[in-house]
Amino acid sequence: MTNILNVKHLEKTYSSGEKQLKVLDNISFSIEAGETFAIVGPSGSGKTTLLGLCAGLDQSDQGEIELCGTNLSDLNEDERALLRNKHVGFIFQNFQLLPTLTALENVTVPLELQGIKKPEGIAKELLEKVGLSDRLDHYPSQLSGGEQQRVALARAFSNKPSILFADEPTGNLDAETSEKVVDLLFRLNKEAGTTLVIVTHDMDLAKMNQRILRLQSGKIMDEQSVL
């Protein structure tokens, strides 16, 4: 199998006043296309920073990231944005839906921005897949947390991403809702054949993936195969 993500000797340091805080220290790993991969570790271990770097949302101080065959270091901000629009999907802990748009519009707008023909039909189909065909005209404030995350799931798969990054996707949901959202995430992912990278505190969720990378204080503690 081809690697969809290659990370080599990644380092990231933030300045805090006069102090330098090394958030990631010599991180290297690879993920195969179609694989499901979890990144775990305590708060402050660098999980979310690592996810942002891998997705091209931020730049590292040292090291290389190759995403979908492209070295992110060779790209400027606009080129990284184009790569994300074409190949990457995102799911966030706080959903990040646009509050002034309905569920249908939240899924349709990204498709329109990519010039997809008949975007509304595709958006309706995706929302039907996540069980929200009766909530198309509802605004985020009229939806429960679980429903909002299901809209976010539909939106994440709308551009048929090669790789999907999920940052604590169940972090704001109760146990029962989390279970439903996770089942849906893995089902949609399997149908689409997408590579899935999940940052999570939840070891039960982590163990549903094929591999787990454990971070502590910005370093890789271990990596294990699960499935």
pLDDT for the residue numbered 114: 83
- 217 vs 224: CA distance, rounded Å: 18
- Higher local confidence (pLDDT), 102 or 227: 102
pLDDT for the residue numbered 227: 62
Mean pLDDT of the chain: 93
pLDDT for the residue numbered 208: 96
pLDDT for the residue numbered 115: 85
pLDDT of 47 > 70? The answer is yes
pLDDT band of residue 75 (cuts 50, 70, 90) is: very high
Q: C-alpha angle with apex 132: 95 to 96, nearest 5 degrees?
A: 10
pLDDT band of residue 117 (cuts 50, 70, 90) is: confident
pLDDT of 163 > 90? The answer is yes
For domain 34-61+76-225, the CATH architecture is: 3-Layer(aba) Sandwich (3.40)
pLDDT of 28 > 90? The answer is yes
pLDDT for the residue numbered 85: 87
pLDDT for the residue numbered 1: 64
pLDDT of 32 > 70? The answer is yes
Element (H, E) at 77: helix 77-87
Element (H, E) at 50: helix 47-54
Are 68 and 3 in contact by the 8 Å Cβ rule? The answer is no
pLDDT for the residue numbered 17: 83
Helix (H, G, I), strand (E, B) or coil at 172: coil
Find the radius of gyration of the CA atoms of the chain. 17
Q: Other C-beta atoms within 10 Å of 142: how many?
A: 12
